[in-house]
Amino acid sequence: MLTLRCCARVTRSVKLERAEKLIGGLGGEKVRWTDSAEALQKAAVALTGDTLVAAGIIAYCGAFTASFRQAIIEDFVRMVR
């Protein structure tokens, strides 16, 4: 028959095993989160310029036909790259 002390030891060892598995699984998440943070930082730098270009296209190309707008945008993209 299991005693209360023996059950406590078993429960404690199970908790320790689970904690080790959790910590081991989270180790890979640090790399993923670091990569995501770097990508977001790069995107944040380009956000102002992207917004300015988008606003300009909407303001100045809105009056033209869809096919002409597409041609203007493609020419612009080629020019700025």
pTM comes to 0.44
Q: Supply the pLDDT for residue 67.
A: 93
Interatomic CA distance for residues 38 and 44, integer angstroms? 10
- The rounded radius of gyration (Å) of the Cα atoms in the chain is 28
33 token code pair = 């989160």
pLDDT by position in tens, the chain (length 81): 456 566 666 688 888 888 888 887 777 787 888 889 899 998 888 888 888 888 888 888 888 999 999 998 888 888 877
Q: Supply the pLDDT for residue 4.
A: 57
- The residue segments making up the domain with residue 65 are 4-80
Cα-to-chain-centroid distance, residue 47 = 15
Three-state SS at 81: coil
Which residues does 7 contact at the CB level (< 8 Å), separation at least 6?
Answer: none
Q: Supply the pLDDT for residue 65.
A: 92
- Number of domains making up the chain: 1
Query: Could you identify the residue written with the tokens 């033209």?
Result: 64
